[in-house]
């Protein structure tokens, strides 16, 4: 394994010194979907010392076309993405530390998760989570790389707190609509191109090279590419990164939390406190209600009233086939009750 990183070390911008630096760095990847998978695999193969991936979702067959860490077996057994990614990455590189966390990334755990992290990569599919990343990295002065892709186009932007505009500064300049992967689709090359820009910025920063502050846009299908310097868009009154920042997206809310998943007719319900009820106990309790149940140690899936529930350890639940938050809460209390 002595030659493992030899070709990367031959690249003069990294070299032996840069490789040694990589081995001592810790990167947090928020989201283990298409971008998260691509970034995580490249960083694992590059020899970054520790990778932490957090994702709230599980693997479905529709993921296999673009989420490269997962297999048909993962989809068949409905495995949590974070756990399946952890297993696959350990098989790719056993020399580094890999941690997969099957949880939601939210205001209550963001500051804990960012401790001792050198950089954060955005692998999410929604701006609610991105603004939490934006606030927590600004508060703790940790650089991060925003990335997004849809259909055949993508964007990437490196953000250095205190030096470059944050995502909130650029709110009027960053596209936030136009559909989701579930509604308008995506092709794999757009994912790989976006992740390549993100991973490159990450490797540059971790090895001591200058950090770019350019907003990258491309369309691989049409052959379009543009790059814009956004340094002069830094907002001195920004609520998230200025000297008077209040970090609005880190304000912790009390009680049960709900979130509508992008384009999936699905609502996530997260109890205020994680429950102690085991999945096996809940599975047994539901036997009198429905025969459509499956439990794999990490999550429990069942169907009742024409609705599909996916319950993770601790009680966090995805309720498919419901778009009304009030109805989702009622169903959660009726059948999960953690």
Per-domain boundaries in the chain: 6-250, 257-335
Let me know: does 297 contact 78? Beta carbons within 8 Å.
Answer: no
The average pLDDT across 180-200 equals: 88
The end-to-end CA distance of the chain, in Å, is 48
pLDDT band for position 196 (cuts 50, 70, 90):
very high
Strand blocks (E) in 137-185:
144-150, 153-159
The answer on pLDDT for 184 being more than 70 is yes
The average pLDDT across 188-195 equals: 94
Q: Which residues contact 35 (CB under 8 A, 6 or more apart)?
A: 121, 122, 123, 147, 148, 149, 191, 194, 195, 198
Average pLDDT, the chain: 90
Residue 15, class by beta-carbon neighbours within 10 Å (0-12 exposed, 13-18 middle, 19+ buried)?
A: middle
Residue 182 pLDDT: 64
Residue 328 pLDDT: 85
Class level of CATH domain 257-335: alpha beta
Residue 195: phi, psi to the nearest 5? -65, -35
- Tell me the per-residue pLDDT of 119-152, one tens digit each, with 9 for 90 and over: 999 999 888 899 999 999 999 999 999 999 989 9
Q: pLDDT exceeding 90 applies to what percent of the chain?
A: 60
Residue 176 pLDDT: 57
Do domains 6-250 and 257-335 share one topology? The answer is: no
Question: CA-CA distance, 30 to 39, in Å (whole number)?
Answer: 11
Residue 187, class by beta-carbon neighbours within 10 Å (0-12 exposed, 13-18 middle, 19+ buried)?
A: middle
The answer on pLDDT for 85 being more than 90 is yes
The average pLDDT across 187-207 equals: 95
The average pLDDT across 206-223 equals: 92
Residue 270: phi, psi to the nearest 5? -125, 120
- Domain 6-250 = CATH 3.40.50.720: yes
- Tell me the per-residue pLDDT of 253-288, one tens digit each, with 9 for 90 and over: 766 788 777 656 888 888 877 665 688 888 888 888
DSSP 198: H
pTM value? 0.86
Question: CA-CA distance, 121 to 33, in Å (whole number)?
Answer: 12
């Amino acid at each position: 394994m002595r030659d493992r990183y030899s070709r990367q070390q031959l690249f003069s911008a990294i070299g032996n010194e840069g490789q040694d630096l990589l081995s001592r760095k810790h990167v947090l990847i928020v989201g283990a979907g298409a971008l998260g998978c691509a970034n995580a695999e490249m960083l694992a193969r590059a020899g970054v010392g520790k990778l932490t991936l957090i994702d709230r979702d599980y693997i479905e067959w529709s993921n296999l076309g673009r989420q490269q860490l997962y297999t048909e077996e993962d989809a068949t057994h409905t495995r949590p993405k974070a756990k399946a990614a952890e297993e696959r990455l350990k098989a790719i590189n056993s020399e580094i530390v890999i941690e997969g966390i099957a949880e939601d990334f939210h205001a209550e755990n963001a500051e804990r998760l960012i401790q001792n992290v050198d950089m954060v990569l955005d692998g999410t599919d929604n701006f609610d989570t991105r603004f939490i990343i934006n606030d927590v990295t600004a508060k703790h002065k940790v650089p991060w790389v925003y990335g997004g892709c849809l259909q055949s186009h993508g964007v990437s932007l490196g953000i250095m707190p205190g030096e470059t505009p944050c995502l909130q500064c650029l709110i009027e300049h960053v596209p936030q609509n136009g559909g989701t992967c579930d509604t308008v689709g995506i092709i794999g090359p757009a994912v790989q191109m976006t992740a390549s820009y993100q991973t490159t910025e990450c490797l540059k920063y971790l090895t001591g090279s200058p950090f770019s502050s350019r907003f990258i846009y491309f369309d691989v299908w049409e052959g379009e590419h543009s790059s814009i310097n956004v340094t002069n868009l830094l907002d001195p009154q920004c609520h998230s990164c200025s000297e008077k920042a209040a970090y609005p997206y880190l304000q912790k809310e009390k009680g049960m939390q709900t979130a509508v998943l992008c384009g999936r007719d699905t609502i996530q319900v997260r109890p205020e406190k994680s429950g102690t009820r085991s999945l096996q106990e809940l599975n047994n309790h539901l036997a009198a209600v429905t025969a459509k149940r499956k439990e794999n140690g990490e999550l429990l899936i069942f169907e009742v009233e024409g609705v599909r529930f996916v319950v993770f350890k601790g009680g966090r639940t995805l309720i498919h086939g419901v778009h009304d938050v009030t109805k989702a809460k009622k169903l959660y209390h009726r059948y999960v009750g953690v």
